[in-house]
Amino acid sequence: MTDLNKKVAVGISGGVDSSVAAYLLIKAGYEVEGIFMKNWEEDDSEECNSKEDFNDAQRVCEHLGIKLHQVNFSDEYWENVFEHFIADIKRGFTPNPDVFCNKEIKFKQFYNYALSLGFDLIATGHYAKRIDSVNIQLHIPKDKIKDQTYFLYTMNNKVLRKTIFPLENLEKSEVKSIAKNMKLGLEEKKESMGICFIGKRNFSSFIDEYIKPVEGPIIDYKSNKKISYHKGLSKYTIGQRKGINIGGLKHRSDSAWYVIDKNMVTNTLVVSQDQSPLYYQGEIELENINIINEECDYKKIKVRFRHGGALRSCELKKVTNKYSITLNEEERGIAQGQAAVFYNGTECIGGGTVISKCLRKN
């Protein structure tokens, strides 16, 4: 960590990671204050109880002897994250709201709010690493399992240069140990998993509140024959196995069925018991590209399509204003709307959104 003697705003969620991040910054000699962000107005889920989280955040800041600010970004979240999320699902995409939340809320609204209060820098409890060089760089942290750079590829140089990741050189087990020594009782607090505005509710039921489910045919990929009916395309994603509810078909094995494709025009779900069409290698068109390090060698990069997913060799190409990658290795179940995030060694150099269908040709 650098930039000592500067005023730092830490995003405090009331959880272990952000609490330890604040503690480490104080210990390093920074002038620290916390900012608690409320990003969702409805609060009817046990998993995402903002009142409980705010109380925990207050307790942490009181224990650390620092001031806590509270700000409500619910309107900004709705307009820039949630509405985007719903619009992409209507397109048949599989969006990742965590990526949008980091871009629009944590490293835009939070960043601007902190600077408006007179802070010099911001900090979060993300597992990521910043390396200062001629070009500021975002890297995979020490804890490669907890690595969150996949969700941070939309960061720009200006914000990254003013961001500190205090957990960059720690394993999760070390963070929990520090939290235990802080004696706040947070080390056993469950991490928020999945999409916070859904909480513990069933994803399908939640989406039904915003996208009216329309029943349609399920088509067998090989025979092109109708074998059943689906309950609304928004309930399915490419590569999905569970929840398709196909069974008892004559002259068919009991093998699992997989979602191969979704046709939004005809409201058709395409499935197969053969997974081979899901394994794709070749060109993939992207949109909303963000490159953190413009000096990177595009011919030596690797890409991953999901958090914790395998890194695949590829080449990034730009023709006019359109970007695409040529995937040199097979990857299973690439869905439109997924983030394709680029790496050069441990450096996360940027990424984009998959917009082309990725099915192996027969």
Helix axis angle, 16-28 to 172-182, nearest 10°: 80
Per-residue pLDDT reduced to its tens digit, 289-299: 999 988 877 77
* Cα angle 319-322-323, degrees, rounded to a multiple of 5: 85
| Dihedral pair phi/psi, residue 58, rounded to 5° | -60, -45
Round to whole Å and give the CA distance between 16 and 56: 10
For each of the chain's 362 residues, which pLDDT tens digit applies?
556 678 999 999 999 999 999 999 999 999 999 999 998 876 555 555 678 889 999 999 999 999 999 999 999 999 999 999 999 999 999 999 999 999 999 999 999 999 999 999 999 999 999 999 888 999 999 999 999 999 999 999 999 999 999 999 999 999 999 999 998 877 777 776 656 656 556 777 888 999 999 999 999 999 999 999 999 999 999 999 988 978 767 667 778 999 999 999 999 999 999 999 999 999 999 999 999 988 877 777 999 999 999 999 999 988 777 889 999 999 999 999 999 999 999 999 999 999 999 998 76
Q: Is CATH 3.30.230.10 correct for 7-182?
A: no
Q: Is 296 a catalytic residue?
A: no
Considering 48, 61, 101, 314, which one is annotated as catalytic?
Answer: 101
Place of tokens 């980091």: 102
Cβ contact 232:214 at 8 Å: yes
Long-range pairs for 296-299 at CB < 8 Å and ≥24 separation? 296/342, 296/344, 296/347, 296/349, 296/350, 297/344
Fold of 212-274: SH3 type barrels. (2.30.30)
What's the pLDDT at 323?
86
Q: Is 314 a catalytic residue?
A: no
What CATH number labels 278-354?
2.40.30.10
Helix (H, G, I), strand (E, B) or coil at 357: coil
Cβ contact 282:330 at 8 Å: no
Among 40, 191, 47, 61, CA closest to 126? 191
Considering 48, 196, 314, 348, which one is annotated as catalytic?
Answer: 196
Domain map (residue ranges) of the chain: 7-182, 212-274, 278-354
**Considering the entire predicted model, what is its pTM?**
0.92
